Structure 1
Amino acid sequence: MKFGFIGAGVVAQTIARHVMPYGHEVLLSNSRGPDTLADVVGKLGRGAFAGTPQQAAEQDVVVLSVEWPRVPEALASVPDWSGRTLIDATNRIDPDHPSDLGDVSGPTSSEIVADQAVGAKVVKAFNSIPMQWIEDASPEKPRTVLFISGDDASAKSALSEVLEQAGFAAVDLGTLAIGGRQQQVGGPLAGLNLTLHDPFVL
């Protein structure tokens, strides 16, 4: 599978390190151009490439991994989201005002993303834990629980297979409206570091 990342920071690089050992390719992009990512893809190694957001959107799966204030701009860089699988790895946090989560009783953050990426099959994932908790990409790493939510069953199933292959435990919480609310920042499942060693996970 080919993963395209819109955003090339810690989230994108961490995910890439986990999926690449299993034959998946990654294409990272940012707003400054592919040339600025030469060092990043060089460190990731074979199977990693740099490109534009438009090229990232042409991959099998697109991962949105930008800061929340940049979401509209990032999504608008792709003219047509119809039929694309879009993994929303963002959190509704403004770096300048981190305590302001907005109206968490209204639409979930991923529903907002889906409204701006019309036609995309949006899956919420990779947002509920800090990336430093899963920085170990070795085969011996703990089997960490990663929550996913979405309205398209096939998109969730495909992502779950990759997560399980990469050594995670994928837990499907349901729709963006219901599951997405549980795992987004401010929800009860955000910030939980669960592994299969935890007795209440078994």
Structure 2
Amino acid sequence: MSISENKVASYAIIGFGKIGHALAKAFARKGIAVSVATTRNPESFSSATAAIGPGIIPTTLAEALKADVIFLAVRFESHPDVAKVLPTWQGKTIIDVTNAYGVPLEQLGGQPSARVVAQAFNGGKLVKGFNHLGAAILEQDPAVHGGRRVVYLASDDDSTAAQIGELAKNLGFSPIQLGGLSEGGLLVQAHGNNWGKLIFKDLVKFD
């Protein structure tokens, strides 16, 4: 993530559909500020962000991409449009929340969808995560029956995955590291008409 220990990381959510809303609610619950952006004028969704909480900040796409950690909560087909906004993603961490529903396997070149996304974000560090739950579950308080709802994380960079694991804990979830994109990424991806083994498995971890 290339964030010094003395600096507080900044966060952004790109996309404000059902998953974007659910992520924003997770941040609001814990009082953690996060920018939200779409391709639309931020004034067009400012009332929706205000309804979630004061720390949910509507902004432009260009402004949101100044954040250190960026949740990619757009349709899989839209990720190249976001990726091309910056010439390099050096120093950025991208959390890939997309699922390649209905995307032909040939379009992925036989790769996990997260690896395709990672290649688009030149220079950035990518973590696949927060994508295996439907929005209706993801938006709920992750404190369940004395445990914490699980989110799975996969990345080819162990250090970055660990840092996003800490963020997940701060948001109230229990992170489980699945390893690299080519292994763990396959367990939590939905592509074509196939489902990873952990997709939609709503699990709770008890310490």
The TM-score normalised by the length of structure 2 is: 0.85
Q: 1:106 to 1:138 in 2, by over 3 A?
A: closer
Note if contact 1:10-1:131 (Cα within 8 Å) is conserved in structure 2. yes
Residue identity in the other structure for 1:14: A
Residue identity in the other structure for 2:133: I
Percent identical: 27
Structure 1 residue 101 displacement after superposition: 4.8
Residue identity in the other structure for 2:172: G
Tell me how far apart the structure 2 counterparts of residues 189 and 159 of structure 1 sit (CA, whole Å). 19
SS in 2 for 1:144: strand
Query: Is 1:75 matched up with 2:87?
Result: no
Residue identity in the other structure for 1:89: V
Q: 1:173 to 1:138 in 2, by over 3 A?
A: closer
Structure 1 residue 139 displacement after superposition: 5.3
Query: Is 1:24 matched up with 2:32?
Result: yes
What's 2:59 paired with? 51
SS in 2 for 1:181: helix
Tell me how far apart the structure 1 counterparts of residues 87 and 21 of structure 2 sit (CA, whole Å). 25
Tell me how far apart the structure 2 counterparts of residues 131 and 194 of structure 1 sit (CA, whole Å). 15
Residue identity in the other structure for 2:91: G
What's 1:143 paired with? 148
Query: Is 1:64 matched up with 2:72?
Result: yes
Kindly report which structure 2 residues correspond to 1:72-151, keeping only aligned pairs within 5 A, or say none: 72-93=80-101, 98=102, 100-103=103-106, 106-137=110-141, 143-151=148-156
Residue identity in the other structure for 2:199: A
Q: 100-109 or 166-175, which moves further after superposition?
A: 100-109
Structure number with the bigger relative contact order (C-alpha 8 A, sep ≥ 6) is 2
Residue identity in the other structure for 1:128: H
Q: 1:43 to 1:124 in 2, by over 3 A?
A: same
Tell me how far apart the structure 2 counterparts of residues 138 and 153 of structure 1 sit (CA, whole Å). 24
Tell me how far apart the structure 1 counterparts of residues 59 and 40 of structure 2 sit (CA, whole Å). 10
SS in 2 for 1:143: strand
Residue identity in the other structure for 1:181: L
Note if contact 1:14-1:135 (Cα within 8 Å) is conserved in structure 2. yes
Note if contact 2:142-2:148 (Cα within 8 Å) is conserved in structure 1. no
Structure 1 residue 147 displacement after superposition: 0.5
Note if contact 2:23-2:139 (Cα within 8 Å) is conserved in structure 1. no
Structure 1 residue 20 displacement after superposition: 2.8
Note if contact 1:34-1:50 (Cα within 8 Å) is conserved in structure 2. yes
Residue identity in the other structure for 1:127: N
Superposition misfits of 4+ residues, deviation over 3 angstroms: 138-142
Residue identity in the other structure for 2:12: G
Q: 18-27 or 143-152, which moves further after superposition?
A: 18-27
The TM-score normalised by the length of structure 1 is: 0.87
**Which one has a larger percent strand, Structure 1 or Structure 2?**
2
